[in-house]
Amino acid sequence: MARSMVLGNGNTMVCLDQFGQVRDFYFPYVGQDNHIGSNQMHKIGVFVNNGMHWIDNGEWDVDIRFEKASMVSKMRASNERAKILIESNDVVYNEKNIFLRKINVTNLDVKERDVRVFLNQQFKIGNNNHADTAYFLSSIGSIIHYKGRRVFLVGGICDNKNFDDFGIGFCGIEGKQGTWVDAEDGILSKNPIEHGRVDSVVGWQRNVPAGSTITIYYWIMVGETYKDVCELLSYTLNKTPEHLLESTTDFWRAWTGQVEIDFPGLSEKAKNLFYDSLLVIRAHCDEGGGILASADSGNVQYGGDTYAYVWPRDAGLIASCLDLAGFYNVSRRFYVFANDILTEEGYVLHKYHPDHSLGSSWHPWVKDGKRQLAIQEDETAVLLFGLWEHYVRAKDLEFIESVYNSFIKKSADFMVRYRDFNTGLPLPSYDLWEERYGVSTYTTSLVYGALMAAYNFARTLGKEGDADKFYSEAESVRKALINYLWNDQGKHFFKLIDDSFNKDYNLDVSSFYGVFKFGVIAADDPRMKEAFKVLIERVGRNINIGGVARYEGDRYHHVGGEATGNPWFVTTLWLTQYKIAIANSIQDLQESAKDIEWAAKFAQGSMLAEQLNPYTGEPLSANPLTWSHAEYVRTVIEYSKKMNFFSTQRCQ
């Protein structure tokens, strides 16, 4: 199930589904150690009129999205049958590891009623249910879930009083669905302890007059020890939950407010999505530097795995977007991460965990009995290219000097070595889509851009010998790309040359974008304009909702029918960025504005998925995908700057 909300502080991350139920609870890294299982959720229910109404039972009309420009969820759930309205604001406190909800429950009936609110916790601590324990501790009016050095404290107050009902029991074992079933008669067992596969429920009962509202503050504190969570409880009660909510709201509004941007000609929805996208990106950034592809653990892919990894490809492009928006501290932490994971040979591998350890992979080290590097060379190159963009904006020369030998020179020297010196092209590696082994136009373009970045670094630091070498090698790559990967007859760039030097004529958006983005050929070069015309006609073929696929014949999550592939936000916005780059007037930019509005139209609340059903617009695959949000932010910033440039010219 897609995630409708992501909240985090760099150590704790909580993801909510379309009903506001907690589906992922990550600690102590963003995206690593998820303490809720794939088929588990923290259920929300209201017992009224002698019946239980769980929020996911189909009766509720639920809307959930960010508060404006702040990492605070705003949920509104109404149930006509039960005559109940729930409004909730949720945060992960920006300073400490506290998940906090302020829940307003309104009686919409014309008479006073007995209203009972139940909140369920289903933990899978350490991603397994072996030897979990949950117990009620009356001295602090809380339920403790723990295993080893992971402790969760569950509690809350209504009218300054702790929950007045609770239950603890088995969940998904010995024929027990879970303790939440015990709540369906409105009364809990008050069983004080259980271990194994367990869940818990807390509840409040109030007589609520017609049209009146009760407010519940609910929290989950997480730490490594019982002492840790008790200190967090004391802190919350001393500061008050309302203070934590308000200060978190203010912090994130101040954070997003650092971006100097206006939105000429864009709708309110498009503007809000810009700030939502910044917040989604930030929620996926771990304090240790890793930037997660997606925290959506419900998106189970190849091998039963998820997107909860740091792909250097995604993360490098996202870090570049953060630099463009002015968040240099966040991107710098990522480049420290990149410096740490670079191998002694000068390349990075497929993907990583936020704790810097190696992630799972499907890239083999042997192919047809021959050894090969199990890498995507673009993932190394994008880091070096992005680091130069970081320096240009942040001007942190001392940091650059500190990583010159360990990262800049080492990775650039690898790219110099990892080439076919007969053709000048890079040696084969897996393409950015992680599917094909060969020499792709995109990777070759990025290698050129990365070597030019290394040249710029060396020249800046006075390392003339390195500068001359990197410039010469970059030019060799550029000439080889034009010689071998440009199809002059078809007026487009080849997708890829395989290890037998067979050329793939299928059009791929990345082949076009890479040449443009990484400076191989100027955006207004006639070849680029011709290639764009050919590309735009074919990669959007039979996609009813608009947008473009990654490449012709893309089968990944294909839903059938005549569409050449599913539209991706990333590739659609890449082409928008090209339109912006070649625009010569405000009128030209109006087409780009339509593309931005297209992305906003198909956002699910505050979230952008990886791809869409080409006929219905339904989100497919990971939702949210951090990379999609990054390209949206980049596109809006580039559009705004170009529009303001034209407006200034017109006024002069």
Same domain, 137 and 180: yes
Same domain, 277 and 217: no
Provide the residue count of the chain.
652
What the block records as the tokens of 403 is: 């990583």
pLDDT-derived band at 651 (thresholds 50, 70, 90) equals: low
Same domain, 511 and 469: yes
Same domain, 453 and 331: yes
309 found inside a domain: no
592 found inside a domain: yes
In the block, tokens 């199930």 appear at 1
Picking from 640, 647, 603, the residue whose alpha carbon sits closest to that of residue 625 is: 603
- pLDDT digits over 272-306, tens only? 999 999 999 999 999 999 999 999 988 776 667 89
Picking from 212, 222, 231, 172, the residue whose alpha carbon sits closest to that of residue 40 is: 172
35 found inside a domain: no
Q: How far apart are CA 151 and CA 200, in angstroms?
A: 14
Sign of CA dihedral 325, 328, 333, 336: positive
Instruction: Give Cβ neighbours of residue 375 (< 8 Å, ≥ 6 apart).
Output: 347, 348, 349, 350, 363, 429, 430
Asked if pLDDT for residue 38 goes beyond 90, the answer is no
β-sheet with 113-122: strand ranges across: 51-54, 44-48, 113-122, 198-208, 165-170
List the CATH number of the domain containing 481: 1.50.10.10
What the block records as the tokens of 32 is: 């690593």
349 found inside a domain: yes
In sequence order, the β-bridge partners of residue 200 are 121, 168
Q: How far apart are CA 304 and CA 99, in angstroms?
A: 28
Q: How far apart are CA 278 and CA 475, in angstroms?
A: 36
What is the tally of structural domains in the chain?
3
Task: Calculate mean pLDDT across residues 169-174.
Answer: 87
Is residue 413 within 8 A of residue 384, CB to CB? The reply is no
The alpha-helical segments, DSSP class H, found in 290-408 are 312-325, 328-341, 377-394, 397-403
Per-residue model confidence (pLDDT) at position 302:
61
Q: How far apart are CA 360 and CA 502, in angstroms?
A: 30
Per-residue model confidence (pLDDT) at position 499:
83
Last residue of a domain, one of 506, 538, 570: 538
List the CATH number of the domain containing 209: 2.70.98.10
Neighbouring C-alpha atoms within 13 Å toward the C-beta of 117: 26
Same domain, 187 and 217: yes
Same domain, 267 and 166: no
Q: How far apart are CA 9 and CA 533, in angstroms?
A: 44
DSSP-based three-state secondary structure for 71: coil
Same domain, 557 and 521: no
Report DSSP letters for 192-218, one per residue: -EEEESEEEEEEEEEEE-TT-EEEEEE
Task: Calculate mean pLDDT across residues 242-269.
Answer: 97
Same domain, 509 and 591: no
The average confidence (pLDDT) of the chain is: 96
In the block, tokens 């995507």 appear at 376
Same domain, 245 and 267: no
DSSP-based three-state secondary structure for 587: helix
Q: Where are the beta strands (DSSP E) in 209-351?
A: 213-223
512 found inside a domain: yes
In the block, tokens 């290639």 appear at 531
Same domain, 155 and 250: yes
417 found inside a domain: yes
DSSP-based three-state secondary structure for 641: helix
pLDDT-derived band at 141 (thresholds 50, 70, 90) equals: very high
8 found inside a domain: no
Q: Give how far the C-alpha of residue 443 lies from the chain's centroid of Cα atoms, to the nearest Å.
A: 23
Domain coverage including residue 516:
326-538
Instruction: Give Cβ neighbours of residue 652 (< 8 Å, ≥ 6 apart).
Output: none
- Strand 113-122 and strand 98-107: the pairing is unpaired
Task: Calculate mean pLDDT across residues 142-156.
Answer: 97
- pLDDT digits over 343-393, tens only? 999 999 999 999 999 999 999 999 889 999 999 999 999 999 999 999 999
In the block, tokens 């996926």 appear at 284
Per-residue model confidence (pLDDT) at position 458:
98
Last residue of a domain, one of 513, 538, 563: 538
Last residue of a domain, one of 234, 255, 276: 255
Neighbouring C-alpha atoms within 13 Å toward the C-beta of 53: 23
- pLDDT digits over 417-469, tens only? 999 999 999 999 999 999 999 999 999 999 999 999 999 999 999 999 999 99
Per-residue model confidence (pLDDT) at position 92:
98
306 found inside a domain: no
Residue 471 identity: Y
Query: By mean pLDDT, which of 230-234, 592-596, 642-646 is the weakest?
Result: 642-646
Same domain, 213 and 99: yes
* Burial grade of 205 (CB within 10 A; 0-12, 13-18, 19 or more): middle
Task: Calculate mean pLDDT across residues 135-161.
Answer: 97
Asked if pLDDT for residue 127 goes beyond 90, the answer is no
Task: Calculate mean pLDDT across residues 586-612.
Answer: 96
Task: Calculate mean pLDDT across residues 586-597.
Answer: 95
Same domain, 251 and 268: no
